[in-house]
Amino acid sequence: MTSQHILVYGDERILYQINPDSKRTARIGIHVEPDGSVVVDAPPGQPNEMVHRAVQKRARWISDHVADARERYRHVQPKSYISGEQVLYLGRRYVLKVVQSDDARGMARLRGNKLEVSTRSDDVVKVRGIVRAWYQTRARSYFARQIGKHSARLPWVLKPPPFRLLEMSSQWGSCSPQGQVILNPHLIKAPRDCIEYVIVHELAHLKHHDHSPEFFDLVSRYSPEWEKPKRMLDGMVEILTND
């Protein structure tokens, strides 16, 4: 069961969450998520005192990374969904154009370098809903094609696995124990090589359901340059998930 605690570092009070991880037998893992939250993965039954000591030893590292995450978020402005605003799709920037239409349902389509939203009402909530629905449709179609393409070339994948879309704050994808791939629809805004990396990563979990050395060897074999798109995604997370 997860529990929350406070790290005291100078004048700072940093909240962190201890997460019992059955895959761990000794080592403690400390992660600062893109939104600045701190998660500590520890072996089940590990005394809290030992975890606290491990966290305290990394206090400066944690403080620096939390500050970096908060600074990145400070510069990300919420979207207004008005004409002239920029939107992302497959790593490219498009200009949002909102036009009046008699269609009560509203629709979005790419026209050159613009994402044109036709709607009876230019209400922000309405325009946002149309854009989000467009992203979902495009993500479902594009991800399905990519999963099919990579499933065909990966020898341990007998057929394309089922997948679904799920918005996540700190993950681009996951793979359930039953073999279902889950992808973050915000990923459709990222460059194509970033999407390919995430899909290969999740398909590799069909063979190795952990992040063992064998898992990363497999990913490296079929996505040799995976570290570059991963770094790119880590650096763009606030921009891509900005909604």
Report pLDDT for 128.
94
Q: CB of 153 within 8 A of CB of 222? A: yes
The b/e string for 173-194 (b: 16+ C-beta within 10 A; e otherwise) is bebeeeeebbbbbbbbbbbeeb
Q: How far apart are CA 86 and CA 83, in angstroms?
A: 9
pLDDT given at position 1: 64
Tens digits of pLDDT across the chain (243 residues): 667 899 999 988 999 988 888 777 778 889 887 667 888 988 888 888 899 999 999 999 999 988 887 776 666 677 889 999 999 999 999 999 999 888 767 899 999 999 999 998 888 999 999 999 999 999 999 999 999 999 999 999 999 999 999 998 778 999 998 999 999 999 999 999 999 999 999 999 999 988 888 999 999 999 998 998 988 888 788 888 888
Q: Cα–Cα distances in Å, from 107 out to 39, 54, 174, 191?
A: 40, 52, 30, 24
**DSSP strand pairing (114-119 vs 107-111):** antiparallel
* Bridge pairing between strands 29-32 and 38-42: antiparallel
Domains of the chain: 3-74 (no CATH), 86-240 (3.30.2010.10)
DSSP 3-state of 38: strand
Note the pLDDT of residue 4. 84
Contact residues for 155 (Cβ-Cβ < 8 A; gap 6+) = none
Burial class of residue 6 in the structure, from the number of CB atoms within 10 Å of its CB (0-12 exposed, 13-18 middle, 19+ buried): exposed
Going from the C-alpha of 203 to that of each of 163, 177, 190, 215, 228, the distances in angstroms are 11, 12, 19, 11, 19
